[in-house]
Homo-oligomer: A and B are copies of this chain.
Amino acid sequence: MSDSRQGLDLQRIFSPQSVAVIGATTRPESVGRAVFGNVLHYDYTGVVYPVNPKARSIMGVRAYASVLEIPDPVDLAVIIVPSGGVAQVLEECGRKGIKGAIVITAGFKELGGEGVGKEAAVLAAARQSGIPLLGPNCLGIINTDPQVSLNASFSRLMPQPGNIALVSQSGAVGVAALEYAQAERIGLSKFVSVGNKADLNETDFLAYLLDDPQTDVILLYLEDLATPQKFCQLAQASGQRKPILAIKSGRTAAGAQAASSHTGALAGSDAAYDALFAQCGVFRVESLEELFDYAAALATQPLPQGNRTAIVTNAGGLGIMATDAAVRYGLTMAGFQEETTQRLRESLPAAANIHNPVDVLGDANAARYAAALEGVLADPGVDGAIVISTPQLMTNLKEIAAEVTRVAEQHQKPTLVCQMALGEIEETLTILTQGHLPHYHFPEETARALAAMARFARSRRRPRYEVKTFTDVDRPAVQKVINGAKTAGRQFVLEPEAHQIFQAYGFPVLPHRWVHSAADAVRAAEELGFPVALKIVSPDIVHKFEVGGVKVSLHNGAEMSRAYGELLAGVAQARPQAALAGALVQKMAAPGTEMILGMTRDPHFGPLLMIGLGGTLVEIFQDVAFCVAPISEQWAHKMIRELKAFPLLQGFRGEPPADLESIAQCLERLSQLVLDFPEIRELDINPLIVFAQGAAVVDARIFVD
């Protein structure tokens, strides 16, 4: 839907003055009863009208045979009638002047077959009536804002108000998430189940929630993205002022297959999702636990300025486990200033460990915890703290929780609590919840949550990236080559043509000549200067190495003459039918580090750029990085640094460092090239040889549509 409609439309869905529940019923265990009951019983501040042609009233509320009979204006329709009747109802809603619709009814695209057509009809009816549509096949929405207090869903639960919003592509995952949030005492601002996303999708809701004053953290459960590029632009433009965390399921091939049979979603490549989320600052997680663990911390605590973590514990063993986990998740253990150590020494018993992790001992009372936490949080070398308390003989968890809350409030540093007790801790958790301190069951998950905060803080500190546009490019030259290939009926360009394309876009290509005889080849080599390589050029041969179509390290005219003859003879034998188009004479590159650059075009995401180190070992280690075009200079450098073999490029064991600027620029120019020419379907440069200064495109393939 268009950007201009968004704000208003979703306001009518989340905060309507009046709601019609069409298909409301009193039939036990029905969705129609559950939805109407939820609107009615959770203190909705507007007016709700049940619509049911067969009932005088529903749960004591005057019912209407159709929306058209409701005497007052209606903002929102929640529709639970059988799938065959939905389009008709939407048409009536249009006539009634209704401003938004939630279609909860299932039996559409997710069934395939007839369902696809039914969904198209529903969407057409909504569009015709100008009604933005949530669903079909969804759980509904919840707005906990006390000004509205609307539960227009068939969830069994009404979440506590809070500052975390949840958008779920699966109703059941949504339900599970609501259950979990309630058990963990985590409040929500809004909940949306997006269902089949016939009209409104996650991008629309993301836009709304980024502006929603009740929402500070946005959680997404996704099986696909309806509009990945728009989603990415929106997330990026938000400058990460609100953390966005997403589960994107279907990560593994098996999972993706499962996803495509669910909700009818077509999964894109998982590497593309990874790249896209990373680029637009969305934090991808794997499980509901992670989602809420991180959200609870991000929603309540200040962001850490760095990774330096202090641990305060009343059990040495748990301190060690927390330390292990902290380091594993990328935090560092803070080293305390002498002043802090001195302070801890004075306020803790002699047997306590005054170094990090601070062990306040099994008999620690609240005052001892307070002293230790005060000490470490006051240390300028500490960015965040983990407080672990486990019930020992004299442990008063409630008092400790109160003191920890009091001390944490006085510092602008994140403090996370690991409460390793499971019985009789209701009051303790209430103290922590009211004090806005996130609490966890295990040292490991506590450390993981703090590490996630540090990662988010780091990514938010990154400057905004601007994508550069190179002006020293020759678009017509590239267009001409591509048109030529198309005219010739080829799906790829010849190698000399590929070098023309790269040259036109400012890539460092090696000096080369396209020749058609041995004599030309010798002359070209003399002009270029030996040593040179010689490669067959043929519209019928893509993989020239496989047919013996490449000769390297030719040092003089005699070698070249002989090589030319052998090349033709070899190819004639291997591929007697192949038409030949001469050969490419190319100056040999100096020694350097071999890299691979590539692009594949994802139907969903557009061009996906890839970089990796060349060579056999790297192939085994699968050491590559991806991003979605366009790419900024900073992101290009980030991709290069992400390679596991990056130390090799930095100058390993006395080798000179590789020219990282040149690699980054090749990535940026590649990004521009493939965005400028959608006809380029797939491309790889293998190898790009990188030197201490500069680089060279040695071999390349470009496929066109």
Binding site for B on A (CB under 8 A): 29-31, 34, 107, 110-111, 154, 156-157, 168-173, 175-176, 179-180, 182-183, 221, 223, 247, 249-255, 258-259, 261-263, 286-289, 314-321, 323-328, 332-333, 351, 353, 355-357, 359, 362, 390-394, 420-423, 441-444, 615-621, 623, 644-645, 647-648, 652-653
Q: Provided the pairs A249-B324, A258-B319, A362-B172 are in contact, do residues A393 and B444 lie with their beta carbons within 8 angstroms?
A: no
> With a CB–CB cut-off of 8 A, which chain B residues contact A258?
316, 319-320, 323, 356-357
> With a CB–CB cut-off of 8 A, which chain B residues contact A253?
320, 323-324, 327
Q: Provided the pairs A171-B362, A258-B323, A653-B616 are in contact, do residues A221 and B645 lie with their beta carbons within 8 angstroms?
A: no
Interchain CB contact under 8 A, B250 and A320: yes
A317 to B355, CA, bound (A): 46
Q: Provided the pairs A258-B320, A391-B179, A652-B620 are in contact, do residues A170 and B315 lie with their beta carbons within 8 angstroms?
A: yes
> With a CB–CB cut-off of 8 A, which chain B residues contact A356?
258
> With a CB–CB cut-off of 8 A, which chain B residues contact A286?
324-325, 328, 444
Name the residue in A157, A221, A251 with the highest tally of chain B Cβ atoms < 10 Å from its Cβ.
A251
CB-defined A-B contacts under 8 Å, sample of 13: A168-B317, A169-B317, A171-B392, A172-B392, A173-B321, A176-B315, A249-B324, A254-B326, A258-B316, A262-B317, A262-B319, A619-B652, A621-B623
What distance in Å separates the Cβ of A571 from its nearest Cβ neighbour in chain B? 20
Partner of A182, one of B288, B422, B619: B422
Q: Whose C-beta in chain B lies nearest to the C-beta of A351? A: B111
Q: Whose C-beta in chain B lies nearest to the C-beta of A154? A: B393
> With a CB–CB cut-off of 8 A, which chain B residues contact A647?
620
Q: Whose C-beta in chain B lies nearest to the C-beta of A168? A: B317
Partner of A652, one of B393, B394, B421, B616: B616
19 new A-B pairs (CB below 8 Å) besides A110-B351, A170-B318, A616-B648?
A: A170-B315, A171-B362, A172-B392, A173-B317, A175-B315, A175-B391, A179-B390, A179-B420, A180-B420, A223-B320, A250-B320, A250-B324, A252-B327, A258-B319, A615-B617, A616-B652, A617-B621, A620-B652, A621-B645
Partner of A648, one of B323, B332, B617, B648: B617
> With a CB–CB cut-off of 8 A, which chain B residues contact A392?
171-172, 175
> With a CB–CB cut-off of 8 A, which chain B residues contact A325?
286-287
What distance in Å separates the Cβ of A637 from its nearest Cβ neighbour in chain B? 19
Q: Whose C-beta in chain B lies nearest to the C-beta of A314? A: B172
Q: Provided the pairs A31-B393, A359-B262 are in contact, do residues A249 and B617 lie with their beta carbons within 8 angstroms?
A: no
Interchain CB contact under 8 A, B251 and A315: no
What distance in Å separates the Cβ of A341 from its nearest Cβ neighbour in chain B? 13
Q: Whose C-beta in chain B lies nearest to the C-beta of A253? A: B323
Q: Provided the pairs A250-B324, A442-B288 are in contact, do residues A180 and B391 lie with their beta carbons within 8 angstroms?
A: no
Partner of A289, one of B169, B170, B288, B442: B442
A401 to B287, CA, bound (A): 24
What distance in Å separates the Cβ of A674 from its nearest Cβ neighbour in chain B? 28
A251 to B327, CA, bound (A): 9
Q: Whose C-beta in chain B lies nearest to the C-beta of A623? A: B621
> With a CB–CB cut-off of 8 A, which chain B residues contact A261?
316, 353, 355, 359
A362 to B619, CA, bound (A): 44
Q: Which 9 A-B pairs have the closest CB atoms?
A: A170-B317, A172-B315, A262-B316, A255-B324, A183-B422, A252-B327, A173-B317, A176-B420, A255-B323
What distance in Å separates the Cβ of A289 from its nearest Cβ neighbour in chain B? 6
Partner of A316, one of B34, B157, B175, B263: B263
Interchain CB contact under 8 A, B179 and A29: no
> With a CB–CB cut-off of 8 A, which chain B residues contact A34?
393
A3 to B605, CA, bound (A): 66
Interchain CB contact under 8 A, A179 and B421: yes
